[in-house]
């Protein structure tokens, strides 16, 4: 490849021809995988009028469109809402390879624009969907084996504590014992995230993929809660080589419970000094009409390419990341 002249802008892509060819091959494998299993590929808009309410997700807001000053529009952080509306309309099992956007995200494993592989399976719970995720990783990465580990087991193995019962004092002590300290006061849920990201996640998915499941109810997001002792969120995450690759749920389909979750997220936003976001009334209406019982998962496709290519950063898996625009 010809080098640019001295002083000229570096116009070249970050991804090498080898990685671009691998990316195209992996896209082909994805489509063949789901075609064989009868899933319909769908295409939903990048624009949304209702950003994700999660206070940890910074939405990308756009300038007014078509002189429409009455509505704010955003770039989607996930195609979840329109895909669930398709499910409620009778689409059957669906998947999508979509671009998604989050502000203030850039690093070895983050870009403000990234690609998601997201799919939904009516009639599946999160256990069946974990089986399918393992099948996909076999096709995409040659991962012939995997392990399933509960959230509680992962914390017990690495830190010797029960994440469902540990109080704030115990969590703070374990963090200090591992040389960690949060910069601001936090609750138990934040400490669990902190310990997960620093002490546990880097060891998961080695030497084969790990499917981590049965999260504390403080981490339910939009997953169902299963009554047990203790109750758990029917949620799972996928880890490969210490990297979080995906996040899945046995999806909440109760519109009343979903409305309460949205309101709880807005309450978190208020406490964090962030503006509230409007409730996704169209999704709530779709749930009220009857979205089928299902499970869904979103996989970071760029991360999948990065791992398959043996690359060190996400930028190597993308033709033109942020710094090359």
Q: What is the mean pLDDT of residues 166-173?
A: 93
Q: Which residues sit opposite 96 in a β-bridge?
A: 118
pLDDT tens string 153-164: 999 999 999 999
- 153/163 Cα distance (integer angstroms): 9
Q: Is 210 helix (H, G, I), strand (E, B) or coil?
A: strand
For residue 185, count other CB atoms closer than 10 A to its CB.
7
For position 186, what pLDDT does the model report? 81
pLDDT tens string 72-112: 899 999 999 999 999 999 999 999 999 999 997 788 999 99
Q: What are φ and ψ of residue 297, in 5° steps?
A: -150, 150
Question: Contact at 8 Å (CB) between 99 and 46?
Answer: yes
Evaluate if residue 40 carries a pLDDT over 80.
yes
> Interior CA angle at 248 toward 40 and 192, to 5°?
165
Q: What is the mean pLDDT of residues 56-79?
A: 84
pLDDT tens string 172-186: 999 999 998 887 778
Question: Contact at 8 Å (CB) between 283 and 266?
Answer: no
Q: What are φ and ψ of residue 283, in 5° steps?
A: -65, -45
Q: Which residues contact 113 (CB under 8 A, 6 or more apart)?
A: 99, 100, 101, 322
| Better-predicted residue by pLDDT, 106 or 67 | 106
Distances 31 to 27, 208, 256 between C-alpha atoms, Å: 6, 24, 35
- 148/158 Cα distance (integer angstroms): 15
Evaluate if residue 6 carries a pLDDT over 60.
no
Percent of the chain with pLDDT over 70: 97
Nearest partner of 250 among 268, 232, 265, judged by Cα = 232
pLDDT tens string 104-146: 778 899 999 999 999 999 999 999 999 999 999 999 999 999 9
Distances 68 to 24, 44, 237, 249, 277 between C-alpha atoms, Å: 38, 21, 39, 36, 18
For position 167, what pLDDT does the model report? 93
For position 10, what pLDDT does the model report? 86
The two tokens of residue 224 are 């169902």
Q: State yes or no: cis peptide before 234, omega within 30 of 0.
A: no
- 274/161 Cα distance (integer angstroms): 33
Domain 17-146+208-324 -> CATH class: alpha beta
- Mean pLDDT over each residue of the chain, to the nearest integer: 93
pLDDT tens string 193-212: 999 999 999 999 999 999 99
- 284/258 Cα distance (integer angstroms): 7
pLDDT tens string 238-269: 999 999 999 999 999 999 999 999 999 999 99
DSSP 223: B
Place of tokens 């760029």: 302
Question: Contact at 8 Å (CB) between 171 and 135?
Answer: no
DSSP 119: E
């Amino acid at each position: 490849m010809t080098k640019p002249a001295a002083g000229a802008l570096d116009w070249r892509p970050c991804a090498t021809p080898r990685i671009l060819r691998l990316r195209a091959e992996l896209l082909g494998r994805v489509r063949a995988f789901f075609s064989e299993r009868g899933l319909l590929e769908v295409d939903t808009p990048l624009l949304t009028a209702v950003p994700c309410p999660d206070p940890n997700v910074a939405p990308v807001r756009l300038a007014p469109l078509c002189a429409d000053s009455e509505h704010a529009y955003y770039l989607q952080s996930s195609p979840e809402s329109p895909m669930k509306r398709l499910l409620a309309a009778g689409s059957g099992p669906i998947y999508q390879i979509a671009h998604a956007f989050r502000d203030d995200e850039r690093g070895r494993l983050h870009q403000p624009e990234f690609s998601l592989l997201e799919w939904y399976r009516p009639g599946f719970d999160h256990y069946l969907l974990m089986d399918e995720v393992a099948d996909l990783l076999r096709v995409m990465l040659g991962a012939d084996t995997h392990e399933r580990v509960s959230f509680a087991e992962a914390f017990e193995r690495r830190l010797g504590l029960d994440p469902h019962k540990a109080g704030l004092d115990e969590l703070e002590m374990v963090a200090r014992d591992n040389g960690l300290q949060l910069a601001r006061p936090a609750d138990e849920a934040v400490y669990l995230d902190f310990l997960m990201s620093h002490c546990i996640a880097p060891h998961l998915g080695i030497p084969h993929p790990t499917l981590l499941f049965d999260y504390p109810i403080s981490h339910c997001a939009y997953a169902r809660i299963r009554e047990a002792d203790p109750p758990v969120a029917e949620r799972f995450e996928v880890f490969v080589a210490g990297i979080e690759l995906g996040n899945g749920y046995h999806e909440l389909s109760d519109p009343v419970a979903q409305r309460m979750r949205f309101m709880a997220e807005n309450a978190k936003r208020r406490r964090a000094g962030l503006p509230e976001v409007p409730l996704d009334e169209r999704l709530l209406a779709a749930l009220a009409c009857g979205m089928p019982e299902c499970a869904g998962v979103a996989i970071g496709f760029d991360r999948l390419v990065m791992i398959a290519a043996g690359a060190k950063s996400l930028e190597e898996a993308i033709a033109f990341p942020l710094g090359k625009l």
